[in-house]
Amino acid sequence: MSLAAALRDRKVRDVIAQAAVAVSLVALLVYFVRNASQNMVKAGIASGFDFLWRQAGIDIPFQLTGYTSASSILGLLWVGIVNTLLVSAVAIVAATVLGFAIGVARLSRNAMLSGIAGAYVEFARNIPLLFFVLIWYFGVVASLPAPRASLALFGVAFLNNRGLTMPLPNATGGFVWALLVLAAGIVAQVALLAVSRRRQARTGHALPLGLTGTLLVVALPMLALTVAAFGTGWDIPVLRGFNYRGGFVLVPEFVALFAALSTYTAAFVAEIVRAGILAVPGGQIEAAKAIGLRPGQILRLVTIPQAMRVMVPPLTSQYLNVVKNSSFGAAIAYPDVVSLFMGSALNNTGQAIEIVAITLALYLAISLAVSASMNAYNARTALVTR
């Protein structure tokens, strides 16, 4: 085939165009990197990633990794990653639960319940998230009583304007076994689900998965957790002077950021849930009523499973937003990736390009992991596979 004939082929032209765009982007990236490198050399600014092994020299009030001020900047970065993942994970769970409840409440026939849910959604969706963070931090957490007048929770946990102080186990071996029991229960339940599907396809009768799930995933892990809790010594917080000593403290910044992310995202999740439920054909509901299912059973067994096919893609976007919006914790000095790495580490080292690049790569990696997990779940629940 001659060159002229090849160029008349649309596929060949498309490949050439895409290659030209790719080469242009690479050339542009190389130009910017070389330009930045030359400017840094002229300005006498060090480049590279050796700074990650320098001593950080920064004290952090909230960390779960054993970090000290003598640790390296890489250890400081790890603290920020763990704190970001922690607040994002618990906020996603809380926002999902709260959002589902509000979304179902919006569809309630009770006018007051539906109105309250609708007012909450409209209020939360039209207020900037930064305001939510500041309201929770300065308006709610800061207004809690002082340590001497703390709100006691079962006499072992105490909530005040310095955070939530909780008991801390002296050993974690029993709780590790409880997690292993939970993991084994989940694996067993998944295996029983596969067996039940094959049995139902062969005989028309499924296994009692609700009973086995309650036993394997709820009852046995709770029993193991209870045994671990009573068999382990605890460091109980005690009021000494003007504050509590002992235990573990969830700092006010964590509490405020968690509450802000949860309540803000719940409004968007509620609308996704409402839209998903309304997308279920009315004939499915009528058929469920015709075979004698109660309203709660219809919602749990018919409506929600079908609505999930509609809800999962937009829920993925909201979960990604929670991860990215956790960076608003920098406004109240919550020690996350942005506050610690792009704030403290950048001020100490001055290596802006490397620190910004690492931070961007971290958020990209976390977001891609969340997206991949949700896409895998979406593929399992999809009605039609392609």
Can you read off the two tokens belonging to residue 203? 């005989």
Classify residue 272: in a domain, yes or no: yes
Task: Select from 266, 343, 340 the least CA-distant residue to 97.
Answer: 266
How many residues comprise the chain? Answer: 386
Classify residue 225: in a domain, yes or no: no
> Residue 323 has what pLDDT?
93
Classify residue 151: in a domain, yes or no: no
CATH number at residue 99: 1.10.3720.10
**Helical packing angle, 252-278 and 304-325, nearest 10°:** 150
DSSP H helices in 204-245: 209-213, 220-230
Digit-by-digit pLDDT tens for the chain (386 residues) are 566 666 666 777 777 888 888 898 889 888 877 777 677 667 666 667 778 888 888 888 888 888 888 888 888 889 999 999 999 999 999 999 999 999 989 988 888 999 999 999 999 989 899 998 999 999 888 888 888 888 888 778 888 888 888 888 887 788 888 888 888 988 888 888 888 878 777 776 767 777 887 888 888 888 888 888 888 888 888 888 778 888 888 888 998 999 999 999 999 999 999 988 888 887 887 888 888 777 777 777 788 888 888 888 899 999 999 999 999 998 888 988 888 888 888 788 777 788 888 899 999 999 999 999 888 888 877 655 44
Strand order in the sheet with 157-160: 151-153, 157-160, 163-166, 248-250
- Give the alpha-carbon dihedral of 260, 265, 271, 274, to 10 degrees: -100
How many domains does the chain divide into? 2
Can you read off the two tokens belonging to residue 133? 């963070």
The sign of the dihedral angle between the CA atoms of 259, 262, 265, 269 is negative
CA 173 to chain centre: 26
Same structural domain for residues 57 and 38?
no
Classify residue 156: in a domain, yes or no: no
Q: Is residue 327 within 8 Å of 337, Cβ to Cβ?
A: yes
Same structural domain for residues 270 and 342?
yes
Q: Count of CB atoms within 10 A of residue 137's CB?
A: 22
Classify residue 64: in a domain, yes or no: yes
Classify residue 193: in a domain, yes or no: no
> Residue 97 has what pLDDT?
93
Same structural domain for residues 59 and 27?
no
Same structural domain for residues 101 and 14?
no
Cα distances from 206 to residues 189, 210, 293, 299, in angstroms, run 13, 11, 18, 20
Same structural domain for residues 138 and 271?
yes
> pTM score, two decimals?
0.80
Classify residue 17: in a domain, yes or no: yes
Can you read off the two tokens belonging to residue 83? 């704190």
> Residue 170 has what pLDDT?
81
d(CA 384, CA 386): 7
Classify residue 66: in a domain, yes or no: yes
Same structural domain for residues 10 and 102?
no
Same structural domain for residues 139 and 7?
no
Can you read off the two tokens belonging to residue 1? 């085939």
Can you read off the two tokens belonging to residue 323? 């991860």
Q: Is residue 288 within 8 Å of 298, Cβ to Cβ?
A: yes
Q: Count of CB atoms within 10 A of residue 256's CB?
A: 26
Report how far apart the first and last C-alpha atoms of the chain are (Å, whole number).
Answer: 35
Cα distances from 78 to residues 70, 211, 357, in angstroms, run 14, 41, 16
Same structural domain for residues 257 and 376?
yes
Same structural domain for residues 265 and 353?
yes
> Residue 40 has what pLDDT?
66
Same structural domain for residues 133 and 15?
no
Residue 216 carries which DSSP code? I
Q: What are all long-range contacts of 73-79, with beta carbons under 8 Å and residues at least 24 apart?
A: 73/345, 73/348, 73/349, 76/340, 76/341, 76/344, 76/345, 77/52, 77/337, 77/340, 77/341, 77/345, 77/358, 79/335, 79/340
Same structural domain for residues 26 and 82?
no
Same structural domain for residues 138 and 11?
no
State which residues form the domain around 66: 53-145+251-381
